[in-house]
Amino acid sequence: MKLEMGKQTVTVPEEAETEEVMVTAAEPRAPSYSSSCKVDGEAAAAAAAEVAMAREGGEELVVPPLNFAMVDHGVFRSGFPDTANFSFLETLELRSILCLCPEPYPEANTEFLRSHGIMLFQFGIDGRKEPFVNIPEDTIREALKVVLDIRNHPLLIHCKRGKHRTGCVVGCLRKLQRWCLSSIFDEYQRFAAAKTRVSDQRFMELFDISSLKHLSPSFSCSKSS
């Protein structure tokens, strides 16, 4: 099932309505190797095979996606997850994924989401290099609304490398959390490193959060309870 909502594409697993997905996602899942073997589909089998190689001392290891980090309670960030990361993603018990790339979502990832009842929110933003970059403010704003909605948590935000598009969304989120700009830039640069873009930082500085403030009270970040 695909729902077109303006620039936003919401893909709900075909066998389940949204309500049912929520219930499925809320159930605890064993993050063990044996449970990942039960996942249907070739892609999942390939992922399990890759994970099987990543062992140490007879114990399986997990492989977080590139640039993975916890942003705050119920919110994670990373680069594009591939099949090697599926076993790790299972441990997060995700309810939704927010993808900021415009390209069609890969078949293996779609299958992983389907089999785990994870919703996909896709807000395609062009990832081209400076000076051709023009970050669409409206798209970031719509993406933020998804992030702020705790019904979508736990949620993973990702783009290609987890640096620029993801960094901008997280930076705007930090503005809503009243972080000072120097701390927002410090965090952005930690992920962007040598690829830091002045245009991204200017975008975050000028981004107007006033239209989103009414959503903050339902937001769990910076609260441990």
Closest distance of CB 222 from its own copies, Å: 5
CA 92 to chain CA centroid, nearest Å: 11
Select the residue interacting with its own copies from 2, 38, 151, 190 (CB under 8 A): 190
119 scored as a contact of its own copies (CB under 8 A): no
| Partners of 2 in the β-ladder | 11
User: What residues contact residue 181 under an 8 Å CB cut-off, 6+ apart?
Assistant: 204, 205
CA–CA gap between residue 107 and residue 194 (Å, rounded): 31
Stretch that binds its own copies, among 42-50, 60-68, 104-112, 125-133 (CB under 8 A): 60-68
Letters for 151-180 (x = contact with its own copies by CB under 8 A, - = none) are --xx----------------------xxxx
Closest by CA position to 84, among listed 110, 59, 102, 66: 66
Stretch that binds its own copies, among 11-19, 103-111, 125-133, 189-197 (CB under 8 A): 189-197
**CB of residue 161 vs its own copies: minimum separation in angstroms?**
12
Token pair recorded at residue 31: 């993050």
Can the peptide bond before residue 131 be classed as cis, meaning omega within 30 degrees of 0?
yes
Q: How would you class 59 by CB atoms within 10 Å of its CB: exposed for 0-12, middle for 13-18, buried for 19 or more?
A: exposed
Residue whose token pair is 């000072």:
180
Q: Quick check: is 159 catalytic?
A: yes
Candidate ranges 4-12, 36-44, 53-61, 122-130; the one touching its own copies (CB under 8 A): 53-61
Q: Per-residue contact track with its own copies, 76 to 115, x per CB under 8 A?
A: ---------------xxx----------------------
Considering the candidates 159, 168, 172, 221, report the single residue annotated as catalytic: 159
- List the x/- string, 8-47, binding to its own copies by CB under 8 A: --------------------x--x----------------
* DSSP secondary structure, 133-164, as one string: ----HHHHHHHHHHHH-GGG-SEEEE-SSSSS
Residue of 146, 116, 145 whose CA lies nearest to 26: 116
CB of 7 to its own copies, least distance (A): 28
Considering the rule CB under 8 A, would residue 223 count as an interface residue with its own copies? Answer: yes
Q: C-alpha angle with apex 90: 87 to 91, nearest 5 degrees?
A: 100
Binding site for its own copies (CB under 8 A): 28, 31, 54, 59-64, 66-74, 91-93, 153-154, 177-180, 182-183, 186-187, 190-191, 193, 222-225
For the annotated catalytic residues, the residue numbers are: 159
